[in-house]
Amino acid sequence: MDLDLVSPATSNDPAVSVIRAKAQLRRALERPRREGLRIGLVPTMGYLHDGHLSLLRAARAECDLVVMSLFVNPTQFGPGEDLDRYPRDEERDLWLAAEAGVDFVYAPPVEEVYPEGFATTVAVGGPLTEVLDGDPSRRGPSHFRGVTTVVAKLLNSVGPDVAYFGQKDAQQAAVVRRMVRDLDFPVRIAVLPTVREPDGLAMSSRNAYLEPADRERAVALSRALAAVRDAALGGSPLAAALAAGEAELAAAGIEPEYLEARDAETFAAVAELGARPVLVAVAAPVGPARLIDNVLIDPANHGGEAATSSPGND
């Protein structure tokens, strides 16, 4: 089998194998699957940071074989978004993947994923894809159609036992979970906590867009979420807690696209804390970057983010 190999600079671990075609990928996975090895998939668009690496490390610890996809998916970008300038550094990503112990990196060209005549999409309907980022006045439901279509194709091509996602993209993870449940994909979806910089900023590939002054202002997103969480758990009405978060953003000169409280599973609007976990999500332009973040408020545990996992067939 003709595979590109990339070895880490200082490691005795095997080199990562780079695969460009889905037929080649399936051939590479035939024997591990036949031998009953546990396969983990970490979907990425590259420009890896510590958040991605936490997913790779979890997959390495829990699975016998780890596949990382490396594909900037054009169908989840809308007109005027940052597809052309989205940060890319494949050579660096491959070295980081090798150092993390990834076995295969699936890095297909666009025409391999969307060949000429491609005409099928996978869509999750209802509130999950119609609010927050899915609101038609924002990124819109077409964004999530792009996400679910490419994730469905990756699940079909890799056939993993577990697929790993980050809590920072909480809405995306919820949409993928629903797709997996509704379409009976035999895979467990694991969602791991957001990885943050020391000052609280959620790690994101788009942080590379930030100039120093904007980087300093961007920390207000995590401060705003902490203000909402602390006020709500302290007994303030949820509306007052959200106002405290808005004040943090305003102090940094940031006008959010949204700062909303949603049921963490259904994404229905929430007016007050109850027995069910609540997701407080924010999106805002900061300089040239559109940043997102969220915090999970679980009144039962009087706390915030935690790793979660769900089977595909629940």
For the chain, give every domain's residue range.
4-192, 205-304
* Cβ neighbours, 10 Å, residue 130: 15
pLDDT band at 306 (very low <50, low <70, confident <90, very high): very low
Say whether pLDDT at 243 is over 90: yes
The per-type count for the chain, helices as H runs and strands as E runs, is 9, 11
Task: Quote helix, strand, coil % in the chain, to nearest 5.
Answer: 40, 20, 40
**CA-CA distance, 233 to 8, in Å (whole number)?**
45
Give mean pLDDT, residues 240-269: 97
Residue 302 annotated among the catalytic residues of the structure: no
Q: Which of 49, 52, 143, 302 is catalytic?
A: 52
Cβ contact 56:98 at 8 Å: no
pLDDT at 15 (0 to 100): 82
> Could you give the residue ranges of the DSSP H alpha helices within the chain?
22-34, 50-62, 90-99, 110-113, 141-158, 170-182, 212-218, 220-233, 238-251
| Global model pTM greater than 0.95 | no
Task: Using pLDDT thresholds of 50, 70 and 90, give the confidence band for residue 300.
Answer: confident
Taking alpha carbons only, the member of 20, 308, 29, 1 closest to residue 160 is 29
**Average pLDDT across the chain, whole number:** 93
294: pLDDT strictly greater than 90: yes
Pick the CATH number of 4-192 from 3.20.20.140, 3.40.50.620, 2.30.40.10, 2.30.30.830: 3.40.50.620
* CATH code for the domain defined by 205-304: 3.30.1300.10
pLDDT at 307 over 50: no
Tokens, residue 79: 């007109």
Whether 171 has a pLDDT exceeding 90, the answer reads: yes
Note the pLDDT of residue 308: 47
Query: Residue 303's pLDDT is what?
Result: 58
